[in-house]
Structure 1
Amino acid sequence: MIIVADSGATKTDWRIIEKDGDIHSFETIGLSPYFNTESDFLSALTHNFPTGLNPNSVKSVFFYGSGCGVQERGETVANYLQIFFSNAKVSAQSDALGAARALFGNQSGIVVILGTGSNITYYNGSSLEIKTPSLGYALGDEGSGAYMGRLLLRSLLYGYLPKELSEKLAESYNIQISHILNMTYTSPRPSAYLASFVPFLVENINHPSIQSIVDESLEMMCKYHLKVFSNISGLQVGVIGSVGCLFAERLNLIAEREGFHVSKYLRYPIEQLVKYHS
């Protein structure tokens, strides 16, 4: 058996590929070397691994997750997984490499990850060549759900969001400034909190103020990341992640204006990663 896993901020998608080609699926919480311990990994697997299947029969594990691109962090995750899959050869690599393989296989292209966070890099068909660092929600994440949520809340709290939108926002969210500041600065996963406003942005995307927020986020992503590749002609651009797919229409317009054409959109990488490793 082969295991393929793609881990994001909120959940991990797992696929078990049997020798006869049968595929089993299960989910766990998002698993990160920065936020989760060995106990978290083992508990998630123990409680969710399908009954009737033996983890000792797994021969290979391919795990892709945020934070695993740093060698020591990837090795930490691999060690955690090795405990549960004791007979397997375990590989833990970055979610960016997983996205690249899902989008392009063994071909080259620019990989644009737009989900809760963001990451943009060049894939040469076998490895990643990072052009700009991924700085996280506090300093970067341009184009991401967290960045868009931050722009929305800033507009709200500074009094620039139109009254009808503020009232509508209050129907579904706690918009007290004390709550917003607490969630942004003291909650365990502030980026996930900020990205939780994406459904509101999607619902109201035709409002000029919301469109301006979404466009500003995507424009900053192009300015600081995509333009790094403007001197390389003929590169494919692939977008992966829920936020990129939800705002594909706006992204297409902005990317084309900057001289780029997005050729592929993929919401979730897991099925393409199964094909890559099968």
Structure 2
Amino acid sequence: MSLPTAPGRETAIRVRAIEKSYPQKDRTDLPVLRGVDLDVARGSIVALLGSNGAGKTTLVRILSTLLAADAGTASVNGFDVATQAADVRESISLTGQFAAVDEILTGRENLVLIARLRHLPDPGRVADDLLARFRLTEAGGRRAGTWSGGMRRRLDIAMSLIGDPSVIVLDEPTTGLDPQARLEVWQTVRTLAEDGTTVLLTTQYLDEADQLADRIAILHEGRVVADGTPAELKALLPPATVEYVERQPSLEDVFLALVGGTTPTTTPTSDPEDDR
């Protein structure tokens, strides 16, 4: 199933019939991408959802010009990734699965370093602006190695934004983070989209795609098997039904009965803790 790009939005990333295989020791080829089609509207968040080995990172590497496709075409901001690689690299930023910060340097020094490498004027001002934007100003003077995982990931994303790329690709940005750090990264991604940045997010977490994405493309065995808004994808399945069943009393029920509480005789099939 493939659904069209949201009406009224220009396409920032366009992928058509991309294929990629890797050679094996037995001289056979292992197909990883088998004809992928994908559109990402400008200023939107699109989640590429799939299990490990589905081909998400391979597609990201092709889009960022780090890997050549075997067949098909792909473009970023209208630039072909195969024939206009330099233009693609100027307009895209890639944040990998693990934070690529120098833990010996302070947070501010990390940002200044990247700004200098990009030959930007006034690297210090660039660093200070990004620290403020990502709510990291108070920690900016500390070594990045002392920061929490969520803060390092936010710093990593901030470093990716130096030079104002219009498209940012986040490859499983919350892998290994605790729940609080994940929420921090989610808010950062939402802010990027609100500011007009196009975000392509790869993830294997269903809740992450549901929380963040305007559209979700499900990649399975090298193909996009479904593509649509979260609501459109949920509508592919029949609506949920509610059933009531008897349950045996728990020790909590016994305790409440003994000390003056009440014990229900029937409950919905959902866990009562879900409503807390």
What is the TM-score of this pair, normalised by structure 2? 0.30
The structure where helix makes up a greater share of residues is 1
Higher Cα Rg, which structure: 2
Considering fraction of residues, name the structure with more strand.
Answer: 2
Q: Which structure carries more relative contact order (alpha carbon 8 Å, separation 6+)? A: 2
TM (norm. structure 1) is: 0.30
